[in-house]
Every structure is written in C-alpha cells, then in structure tokens.
Amino acid sequence: MNNITVSCGEIESAVGFVYVILSVILKKANNPDCDQSWYSEDGRLLADPSDPQTLMYPVISVSSDRLTTSYCVDELLHEIRCHALGFRLKTVFRVRNETDPNSGSTQTPNSHHLWWLLAFVSLFLS
C-alpha cells in the first residue's frame, strides 16, 4: 500500500481539490485487464475512471490519473485491480489541516470565513 500525505493547500486548485496518482503507480497498472476505483474513508465507491459520468459527492471529476473534489477530504483510497494477474495496489491519500498538522480536514475551503463572520457579528451586537 502506498501512503501519500499532503495538506489541503498543496492540493487546492481553481477547480477544487486535486488528488493525483503518481505515474510510477499508474505504470504498474498499464494493462487492459486492470481497472481503477476511488473510495471514501468508509469504503463507499466515489468514482470509477472508466465511467466518469457516475460520480458520488464530493467528486467533481475523475480521470485515469486524478480525482477532483469540491472540498478537502481528509482520507481517500485509490485502488488498482488487475484481475487475471490477481494484482491489487492501494494508495491512501491522507490530508492534513494546515492549522493542525496532526489532523485531517473535512472542512470546505471557505469554512473558516464563517468563524470570522460570527466573530464580527458577535462583536457588532455587543
């Protein structure tokens, strides 16, 4: 199993949060018998690159080498299965919150703005 640890800031882009599979991992699955899937931390299928129209929230798009989500997900699993070879390769993405390097983040990229807004309203109403 491969483990990739990044921060939300490292994978944030203009279109969402992008989880990229390393080319060295994809080369191992360069076989028509192999398929790929992306799963949530609880094992729910989120996306299959062979069927990019079938996406589960929070996935925005998927291709053979990346998955894009609408918010920063703290743990995702990418799996490659090669049926005839009996080969299975898993990659776990663990994402840490920039403010607390020991934890992941499932917050939306703008969720901290809500705290500032609440603080401002509280100050204004005082």
- Cβ atoms of 8 and 110 within 8 Å: the answer is no
Could you give all domains of the chain from N- to C-terminal order, each with its CATH number? 2-125 (2.60.40.10)
User: Average pLDDT for residues 64-75, to the nearest whole number?
Assistant: 94
In the block, tokens 């934890």 appear at 103
Query: What tokens appear for 45 in the block?
Result: 């299928």
Q: What pLDDT, in 10s, does the model give residues 87-109?
A: 899 999 999 876 544 444 444 44
How far is Cα 9 from Cα 17, in angstroms, rounded to an integer?
9
Q: How confident is the model at residue 86 (pLDDT cuts 50, 70, 90)?
A: confident
Where helices occur in 28-110 by DSSP H, the ranges are none
Q: How many helices (H) and strands (E) does the chain have?
A: 3, 10
Query: What tokens appear for 83 in the block?
Result: 């049926």
Q: What pLDDT, in 10s, does the model give residues 13-63?
A: 999 999 999 888 888 777 888 899 999 999 999 999 988 888 999 999 999
**What's residue 107's pLDDT?**
47
